[in-house]
Structure 1
Amino acid sequence: MFPETPAAAAALSVATRFYSPALLNHCVRSYLWGTVYAAAHGIAFDDELYYVSALLHDLGLTEAFDSHRLPFEEAGGQLAWVFGVAAGWPVERAARVTEIITLHMRDDVSAATDPESHLLQVASSWEVVGRHPEEFPPDARTELLARYPRLGFGAEFLACFEDQTRRKPDSAAAASVRNDVAGRIAANPLESRPPPISR
């Protein structure tokens, strides 16, 4: 299910240490939603690169790695570059994980241009605000949420974005808050309690 490489294992260790349970599950789900979407659309992608990017993409929201100057996606992207180099990746590959994490809060990137960035954009926007629900069948939602529950993710994530907005009013997070991310999170079908899995 997950890539079995030293960098992937290290990314999970970092994520487990520094995220809250809700943010950890969100990042794991972001990876899995992306793989569901890629399979449905025949998108070829670098599994390790996407996994590491998905697992680390919100590190800039954590207390340990929050930057008071950089938007969280830029701070997290730079940290992921350090992670990639420390994991033994070439600098070009480390730069790709920085790019993927930074772009997940930017305008849409096409799958043909950058499949990993496209997958993280699709998966994280579905996770947070329920964008493109038609791409994610109800049975997949039920199974994935049972394995990796939300644990109050919507409220915790909104609090993170509101905090970013107070300190970084020109950031993409602040723009999302001004664009009623609170209402969109509340309306996300993933915020509803899923039906129980039938046995």
Structure 2
Amino acid sequence: MKVTGKIIAGIKIPDSAMATQSTELLREHGSELLYNHTLRVFLFAALNGQQNNLTYNAELLYVSTMFHDLGLTPHYRSDDKRFEVDGANAARDFLRGYDVSPQSLQLVWDTVALHTSPGIAEYKEPEVALLNYGAALDVIGKGYDQLSDSIREEIVRQFPRNGLKKNMINTFFEGFKHKPHTTYGSINSDICACMIPGYQKPDYCDLILHSPWPE
């Protein structure tokens, strides 16, 4: 089913070649859960932009959203970087195949890399803030009451949740269980603590007190 070009909940899904190809990459390398999650995130983000009369580039927001969790997948994940950085690098490499300015490349990189950074993303450019908002709404329900029941139901009807509450923690963990050290300082360290028996998150106070400085 072709999704680009469709209008869902009053939001048109971008249908440029760039948008279409990024969607195909998500279909190829992501699971059904990630695919549906990603499309919901874009719609939630775009609706929030509409509600707040924000000016943003819908195509760049869409491509950023398509890549925002691809760093969790075997095709894109690295052995030593945060999954958000893997996704951001992949998005930037993808866009280099199109006529995209250096400023737009950096914007997309930031949008993907910061999507799990509450307290920072919302103060960045609209695209960055909107992706962070859409992801938080879909995963933890932040801003749930800002959308009507009918709009939420329309979006979920098009892109079912597939038991996200039961399956998303494991989906995240599968993406970085081989490199738990990369979650230090991020919300994903909570997932490692949840999923790895006896896991001890690095403690910043300990790092300060046991630094090599001699005093």
TM-score by length of 1: 0.82
Q: CA deviation at 1:86?
A: 1.5
Of residues 157, 165, 168 in structure 2, which corresponds to 1:157? 168
Unaligned runs of 5+ in 1: 182-199
Alignment of 1:15-164 (within 5 A): 15-109=26-120, 113-163=124-174, 164=176
Please report the RMSD computed on the Cα atoms of aligned residues, expressed in angstroms: 2.1
Structure 1 residues 111, 70: CA separation in 2 closer, same or farther (over 3 Å shift)? Answer: closer
Contact in 1 for aligned 2:173/2:192 (Cα 8 Å): no
Deviations 1:50-81 (A, max 9, x none): 00001111010111111121110011101111
Q: CA deviation at 1:34?
A: 0.7
Q: Computing the radius of gyration over CA atoms, which structure comes out larger, 1 or 2?
A: 2
Contact in 1 for aligned 2:22/2:67 (Cα 8 Å): yes
- Give the Cα separation in 2 of the matches to 1:120 and 1:143: 20
- Give the Cα separation in 2 of the matches to 1:102 and 1:175: 16
Counterpart secondary structure, 1:149: coil
Are residue 169 (structure 1) and residue 181 (structure 2) matched?
yes
Q: CA deviation at 1:9?
A: 1.1
Amino acid at match of 2:141: G
Structure 1 residues 48, 168: CA separation in 2 closer, same or farther (over 3 Å shift)? Answer: same
Are residue 7 (structure 1) and residue 21 (structure 2) matched?
no
Number of residues of Structure 1 aligned to a counterpart in Structure 2: 181
Contact in 2 for aligned 1:23/1:153 (Cα 8 Å): no
Q: Which aligned runs of 4 or more in structure 1 are off by greater than 6 angstroms?
A: 178-181
- Give the Cα separation in 1 of the matches to 2:17 and 2:59: 10
- Give the Cα separation in 2 of the matches to 1:13 and 1:178: 30
Structure 1 residues 16, 63: CA separation in 2 closer, same or farther (over 3 Å shift)? Answer: same
Q: CA deviation at 1:4?
A: 2.4
- Give the Cα separation in 1 of the matches to 2:98 and 2:163: 32
Structure 1 residues 22, 90: CA separation in 2 closer, same or farther (over 3 Å shift)? Answer: same
Contact in 2 for aligned 1:165/1:173 (Cα 8 Å): no
Unaligned runs of 5+ in 2: 1-11, 196-215
Larger deviation, residues 126-135 vs 140-149:
126-135
